[in-house]
Amino acid sequence: MADMSDLTGELIDGRYQLIRNIAGGGMATIYEALDTRLDRKVAVKVMHPHLAQDEKFVERFIREAKAAAALSHPNIVSVQDQGWNQSGVPAVFIVMEMVEGHTLREYLNEQGSMTVRDGVKFLLPILSALSAAHKLGIVHRDIKPENILISKEGRIKIADFGLAKGTLIGETMTAEASVILGSVSYLSPEQVSRGIADPRSDVYSVAVTAFEMFTGEKPFSGEEPIQIAYMHVNNRVPKMSAMTNNIPEALDELIYRATNADPDKRPRDASEFHFELSKISIALDPKQNQMSLELDIPVEPMRPSRKSRKEKNKAKKDEKEKTIVLKEPSINKIETTAQVRKRKRVSKRVRRNRFIAFFLAIALGAGGWYVLIGPGSKVVVPSVIGGTESDAQSTLKPLGLTSAVVEKRFDEEIPEGRIIESIPGGGGRVDANGQVKLVISKGPERYEIPTLAGLTPEAAVNLLAKLPIKVGDISEEFNSTIPKGFVISSTPKTGEKVKRDSLINILVSKGVETVNLDSYVGKSRDQALNELTDSGFIVVPKDVYDEKIMAGLVISQTPAGGAPATKGSKITLLVSKGSEYVYIPEAITGKSLAEVKNLLADLEIGIKFNYIKKSGKNWSMTPKPPLKLKRGSKVTIKVW
């Protein structure tokens, strides 16, 4: 086999200092490294040198980087860089975020299986991540416990999109290569027999992984990988209830459906699988907080106002009257010559009437002389409309007339202080030295809304009753500053001026909004943070060691679940960091000093060196292994 030497200590691409080998496989080795540019830990996946000569393997390696880089999800290991080492040892590499923790495989090896509740909590973020991939047309094709990571903080992440395919990253390898590179225990039947994969293939692999999580066993076992692969093709994955007790029926049926050999009978993608599993999760724990996304409630359209029958009849009557007026004709007939002659042959009666009219005209003329010129004459009043009272006095005084304001009236057209009307009006007559009466405008009729905030609704209504305006709706809403039962505001607002009979709506405080908190004890830190923050609370998580509660789960909360809490208030969560103690086995005494340093650093154990001989290779530890220590403790290593 070609050289697959350890590259620990190498500086890749002038940037990534390889610190130690943390994992290896048939295709690449993964190193813990330091990004010297950003001074942070990263994971660098370096392809084995003998494979770097194979274009297909290099293409697949780069495809993995592109597949993961196309995804941005908290439960997917993010890819940060990819390239070829330009100086030093030839190497094709991918740079990923460093996830410190362990794989689901290691967890299952240690624990054997999971409880239903813990297993569902593991599966939901896995399906959430795959759902994001499937929506982009990316299929993972190699879901297995080895590719599911659990960080020290308890966050679950999917890694290794090396077999991924999709429209964003192009097609992948042949069916044969897929079978060789994929893990046969989790491959779907269509991947084995036809070399094809779609989102339903990932659904199958997740379901098989779930089968192992809940039962502690894989559905099929055999001496050769190819035997296991074809068992998936020819045999039906059994129900979990056939291998273990205490599996809820709904969960048993869902996993059984998801492992169907016919892809059409499985959930169509990870989103549907996630939806079905979420319903089971809620059924297992009905107290889970369920957020409604229906934020926009459609408002009913305004309905046209209905006039009373009396108003309608009045309107009809008015319209009829208008019509009658409009129908009065003005007729101009053209007379014929005969008609003119006939008209001119006036009768005796008409001539008599004309004689009488003549004498009446003389009488009217005499009367007009008396009124206009004679002793009965009066002063003609000039128009003063639109002027001020002062303007009217200036106009009337030269005529020997005086003025007096007899009324002040609101008017929408004439500004305040201007004359609306005079009595008599312009062109009318008044006795010499007489008086003209004036009506002055008070301007538009408006009333200022008084301050209602802080009053009780009853006091606000009584205050508004003093004005010719009406109280409209009195509604309530939660408010963090105005006490319950007191007015928050009005519409229109305080200080605005409104017309007579305007409606004033009043908003009254229901006090501070409180809700009964759900309990998040035993649930994940992420779920508690997301749901409580979305509900309007300020969440303060505190990480502590706990010997019983798994890392990343909530140990306790303050206020406790079921207690009423004010929206916007602070919720304190105590979150497990896992066990405070670490175990140093006796086997460590057989390792080199360098290996011991790395192991103790991973276990967060400090070292005090006692050098008898600087270049010595022999060492001993005090206290002696095996031993159990708190994280952060120190041991003394003597070197000679």
pLDDT digit string, tens, across residues 234-263: 899 999 999 998 899 999 999 999 999 999
* Mean per-residue pLDDT, 564-579: 90
Does 488 lie in the same domain as 585? no
Does 162 lie in the same domain as 138? yes
Q: Which of 59-63, 230-234, 511-515, 552-556 has the lowest mean pLDDT?
A: 59-63
Provide the pLDDT for residue 116.
94
Single out the residue of 507, 508, 564, 574 nearest to residue 539, CA to CA. Answer: 574
- Beta-bridge partners for 438: 405, 422
Domain that holds residue 41: 11-97
Does 183 lie in the same domain as 264? yes
Contact 576, 604 (CB under 8 A): no
Single out the residue of 113, 127, 278, 150 nearest to residue 202, CA to CA. Answer: 127
For residue 467, pLDDT over 70 is answered with yes
Does 526 lie in the same domain as 399? no
Whether residue 403 lies inside any domain: the answer is yes
Rounded distance, CA 52 to CA 47, Å? 7
pLDDT band at 385 (very low <50, low <70, confident <90, very high): confident
Whether residue 209 lies inside any domain: the answer is yes
Provide the pLDDT for residue 51.
79
Inter-CA distances, 96 with 159, 226, 571, Å: 9, 32, 34
Does 191 lie in the same domain as 145? yes
Provide the pLDDT for residue 122.
92
Contact 218, 209 (CB under 8 A): no
C-alpha dihedral sign at 114, 120, 125, 131 = positive
Does 33 lie in the same domain as 157? no
For residue 364, pLDDT over 90 is answered with no
Q: Which of 18-32, 41-55, 59-73, 74-88 has the lowest mean pLDDT?
A: 59-73
Whether residue 323 lies inside any domain: the answer is no
What's the gap between Cα 108 and its chain centre? 37
Provide the pLDDT for residue 512.
86
Does 557 lie in the same domain as 412? no
DSSP readout, 500-562? TT-EEEEEEE--S-EEEPPP-TTSBHHHHHHHHHHTTPEEEEEEE--SSSPTTBEEEEESPTT
Does 138 lie in the same domain as 256? yes
pLDDT band at 572 (very low <50, low <70, confident <90, very high): very high
Does 223 lie in the same domain as 197? yes
**Rounded mean pLDDT of the chain?**
81
Whether residue 364 lies inside any domain: the answer is no
> Which residues are the active-site residues?
142
Does 278 lie in the same domain as 180? yes
Whether residue 350 lies inside any domain: the answer is no
Tens-place pLDDT, residues 394-435? 889 988 999 999 999 998 888 899 999 999 887 788 898 999
Provide the pLDDT for residue 34.
95
* Mean per-residue pLDDT, 183-192: 85
**320: its two tokens:** 């009829």
- Number of helices followed by number of strands (H, E) in the chain: 16, 31
CATH of the domain at 560: 3.30.10.20
Higher-confidence residue of 505 and 362: namely 505
Whether residue 357 lies inside any domain: the answer is no
Q: Which of 238, 264, 284 is the endpoint of a domain? A: 284
Contact 492, 504 (CB under 8 A): yes
The beta strand positions in 98-145, using DSSP E, are: 101-103, 138-139
Q: Which of 249, 284, 319 is the endpoint of a domain? A: 284
Rounded distance, CA 435 to CA 396, Å? 9
Q: Which of 460, 485, 509 is the endpoint of a domain? A: 509
Does 540 lie in the same domain as 602? no
Does 254 lie in the same domain as 140? yes
Q: Percentage of the chain with pLDDT > 70?
A: 81
Whether residue 345 lies inside any domain: the answer is no
Coil/strand/helix, residue 587 = helix
